[in-house]
Amino acid sequence: MNIKKTFPRLLTLFLLLVTFGVTAQAQENLKINRIFEKYGKQKGATMVVLSGKALHNYRLDKYRSITIQYDRAILDDIQQCLETDKKQAYRIKEVISNGIISSGYYQLPEQENHKNRYILFKIGNDGAATLIYMEGGQDSEELINRLFIKKE
């Protein structure tokens, strides 16, 4: 084995792995990611992950949502994650009912990639909890209006 040829290749591979790891961590540094990982494949949960062309018209780069039927332990887990992540948010709109967050909108600081990041949460009338994470370049009000407000 020729060490002069192998060392630069190993160094390059190492740097790529470190760079990828830092980038992935920067995007996934939120507590709510634990909810997606822990409950995303659980029976009774519906998880949607979109990227690429599917989001092009909304100028989003990433969209993750999970809807989970009412379960007190899961709801407590989500509430704890939201409480932690909202400490990073600079724009917060939420409704608290009976001491728990029943709906919330959180705009997080941009990451190094200059992309806006949002967390949305709502407990429906049927008790199902929906948690959404979005990342993209559009202004929050315009984005929320495009996604959630029906045109007449």
pTM (2 d.p.): 0.76
Q: Which two tokens stand for residue 25?
A: 């961590």
Supply the CATH classification number for the domain 31-148: 3.40.1000
Which residues does residue 117 pair with via DSSP β-bridges, in sequence order? Answer: 108, 135
Report how far residue 140's alpha carbon sits from residue 134's, in angstroms, rounded to the nearest whole number. Answer: 10
Report how far residue 5's alpha carbon sits from residue 3's, in angstroms, rounded to the nearest whole number. Answer: 5
Question: 45 and 66 in contact (C-beta within 8 Å)?
Answer: yes
Report how far residue 112's alpha carbon sits from residue 55's, in angstroms, rounded to the nearest whole number. Answer: 21
Task: Report domain extents, the chain.
Answer: 1-30, 31-148
Which residues does residue 75 pair with via DSSP β-bridges, in sequence order? Answer: none
* Per-residue model confidence as pLDDT tens digits over 9-38: 444 444 444 434 433 443 468 999 999 999
